[in-house]
Amino acid sequence: MRKREIIWYFFLYFPMYAKYSIARKFGQKGGVEDISVQEAKEEYDRANLIILDLRFKETYDKGHIEGSINLEAQDVKKNLALLPRDKTIAVMCWGGGLSQAVTKMLLKKGFTNARNLKGGMTSWALEVDSELKDYIW
């Protein structure tokens, strides 16, 4: 059984961890700026910011930030018209790794106001909206 677990780890979890680690390490060097959850909340409350939630629809439906836009990462490019160019866009996923890549793509597409929500939904639930804690684990 232990051998099977190691094989599963190597083929399933290791690639996801590696992708996340690489995104975290090199994402900032691509010109991607982070926005903290506290700063995002302040801007959101002033209606200066929208939140782009990249999590799967099923996960989003279980618990999300009210008023956020849900687009899975692979659907963002074909739905750019849904995103405002006059507000800051805080891009979020679970922890901030995938959202860095999507934020970088948005910047390349001319969305100069795109920012990566540092820590993603996990940080938002822990630091801003404790009612969402049940949906992060």
Q: Give pLDDT tens digits for 110-120.
A: 999 999 999 99
CATH of the domain at 92: 3.40.250.10
* Total number of domains in the chain: 1
pLDDT digits (tens, 9 = 90+) for 42-72: 999 999 999 999 999 999 998 899 999 999 9
- Say yes or no to pLDDT of 76 above 50: yes
Buried b or exposed e, range 93-118, using 16+ CB within 10 angstroms: bbbbbbbbbbbbbbbeeebebbbbbb
- pTM of the entire structure? 0.75
